[in-house]
Structure formats: C-alpha cells, structure tokens
C-alpha cells in the first residue's frame, strides 16, 4: 500500500541569508545532541554536535545553540548556499545510552 510520509516543516531562505533550524526535545536525561544533513537518496551526514555542559558550539559556517531550560536546540547556518538544501535532523542521546533518537526533520530550501 501507499505510505504516507510526515509533512516536514520547510524553511525557505534566499541564498546568502542566514538560516536557523530549530529542534525541541523532550527527554531531560539527554545530554548529547547532534545535527545531521540528509540529501535526497543519501545517508545522514554529520554536521556538528554538542554536549549538555555547553550552550554553544561553532563550526565552519554553522553554530549549534542548546537551551536546556526549555529543551531547545538550534542550528544556524551562515551565508546559506544552494548546496545547503537538504533535510536537517537533530538527534539526541543520554549519558550512558548507545543510540541516537532522531527528530522529525526540517526541509531547508535555498532560493538563488
């Protein structure tokens, strides 16, 4: 039978603008968070990660912000490029866990 996918939130940005992708988590025991980028037909690609003892971490053109008080994570992409178009997933893990629990994902569309 036909499978019905989730209707993912979509963020459309103009090339060169900054993008902010948000993620809420519910497990207060989670202490490790990671962002993945997934292009069509490919596996998730690691972008950046952060532990709960930090509230900000920067990479090349990307920044992850963690607000443990409201259980919120965000990924900021500076100067967004067409090649950034993809689905972005946040994932979390607990201190002694050995699995990543993925969020639903956000579609990022970059307009040229």
Q: What tokens were used for 104?
A: 């639903």
Q: Does 99 bind other proteins (CB under 8 A)?
A: yes
Closest of 91, 79, 83 to residue 108, by C-alpha: 83
Instruction: Name the DSSP class of 25.
Output: -
Which of 13, 22, 25, 32 binds other proteins (CB under 8 A)? It is 32
Query: Binding residue for other proteins (CB under 8 A) from 19, 44, 77, 110?
Result: 44
Contact between 88 and other proteins (CB under 8 A)?
no
The one segment of 20-28, 39-47, 58-66, 78-86 that binds other proteins by CB under 8 A: 39-47
The whole-angstrom distance between residue 107's C-alpha and the CA centroid of its chain comes to 10
- Rounded distance, CA 7 to CA 5, Å? 6
Stretch that binds other proteins, among 1-9, 17-25, 54-62, 76-84 (CB under 8 A): 1-9
């Amino acid at each position: 039978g036909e499978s019905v996918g989730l209707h993912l939130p979509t963020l459309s940005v103009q090339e060169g603008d900054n993008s902010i992708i948000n993620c809420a988590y519910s497990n207060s025991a989670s202490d490790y968070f990671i962002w993945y980028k997934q292009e069509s037909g490919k596996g998730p690609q690691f972008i950046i990660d952060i532990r709960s003892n930090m509230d900000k971490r920067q990479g090349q053109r990307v920044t992850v912000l963690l607000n443990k008080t409201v259980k919120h994570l965000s990924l900021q992409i500076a100067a967004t490029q067409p090649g950034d178009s993809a689905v972005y997933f946040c994932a979390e893990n607990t201190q002694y866990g050995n699995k990543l629990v993925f969020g639903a994902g956000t579609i990022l569309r970059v307009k040229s």
